[in-house]
Amino acid sequence: RSLHHPSIVKFAGTFVDSRYHYLILEYVPGGEFYSILRNRGRLEEKDAKFYAAQVTLMFEYIHSQGFIYRDLKPENLLLDKNGYLKLTDFGSAKKIEKAVHQTLCSTPEYIAPEVLLMKEHDGKGIDWWTLGIFVYEMLVGQPPFFDEDPGICYQLIISGKLSIPIDLGEDAKKFVKKLLIVDNVKRMGCSPTGAKACKKHRWFSDVDWEELTHRKVPAAISPSVTAEDDTTNFDVYPESLEEPPEVEYDDEIIRETIQGIQRSDDDHLPEFRESLACFAEAPEDIVTGDSIKF
């Protein structure tokens, strides 16, 4: 709720029913970035750079607000209608603190070595490590450290031995290598200059950061979006047949939560109010366990 950035999915509120805890989020119609990687296999370097630069700006902002994200992966990036990235799923995010973070809170092939080794760190290095994994995956088509057995995957991560295809540009290779240094103290982005070190790297020398920040750079990929509620860019997943056990809930709390969102003056909430009106008027319809549609 405390993060407001054009590249972060907007959060409106939450409520619960007898089985589920619902998050009310901005709808982003361009689909998952994961689907693009899966369908294309790998991206051209200029396109990968476009997305890597956006993630760099995301982390710069998140860290400046005193948080770390800790769960970058293609599945957590969405495309808006203009082809720009939006970051979602902040379930692993937390405040920056000087302590050992022992939680394995990422996809196995994206976990940073200091987490596996339980080294002391403030967490920002985790995000820069995952950026390196992300860039490698975009350029090569698979993560640099991968095995079906998570234990072997972790061993590969700790070893830090990279195999980079010879057809990648030299600047791209150096960028990835500087992010995937096992020693988080030496890793790019972990110095006091933070994101500035990444932004000044030679691979990003042709990036206009001001234009990118204001979303004036032509998108690498423009999704086909015919309406604000267009869902055609998303894959269809079967509904789960398993349901969690029912628990007691307070019908009045649901009503008050939704009405509170409707009354809010926050500039990022108006787009949700019309969709929420029907729920506030008939909260009994909310507790059916059906998916919420905006």
Using CA atoms, how far residue 203 sits from 55, 192, 193, 274, in Å, is 15, 21, 18, 44
Biggest CA-to-CA distance, the chain: 62
Q: Check if 122 is active-site.
A: no
Predicted local distance difference test score (pLDDT) of residue 12 = 82
End-to-end CA distance of the chain: 20
Residue 181 reports pLDDT greater than 70: yes
Q: What are phi and psi of 99, to 5 degrees?
A: -160, 170
User: At which residue do the structure tokens 């830090």 appear?
Assistant: 160
Q: Which residue has the higher pLDDT, 277 or 218?
A: 218
3-class DSSP assignment, residue 25: strand
Given the residues 17, 47, 71, 266, the one annotated as active site:
71
pLDDT tens-place string over residues 10-59: 888 888 888 888 888 888 888 899 999 999 999 999 999 999 999 999 99
Q: How many CB atoms lie within 10 A of CB 29?
A: 20
Q: How far apart are CA 178 and CA 149, in angstroms?
A: 26
- Closest Cα partner for 16 from 294, 259, 289? 289
pTM: 0.80
**DSSP code string of 46-92:** HHHHHHHHHHHHHHHHHHHTTEE-----GGGEEE-TTS-EEE---TT
How far is 194 from 256, CA to CA, in rounded Å? Answer: 42
Domains of the chain: 11-27+228-288 (no CATH), 33-213 (1.10.510.10)
pLDDT tens-digit readout, 47-91? 999 999 999 999 999 999 999 999 999 999 999 999 999 999 888
Question: Would you place residue 253 in the very low, low, confident or very high pLDDT band (cuts 50, 70, 90)?
Answer: low
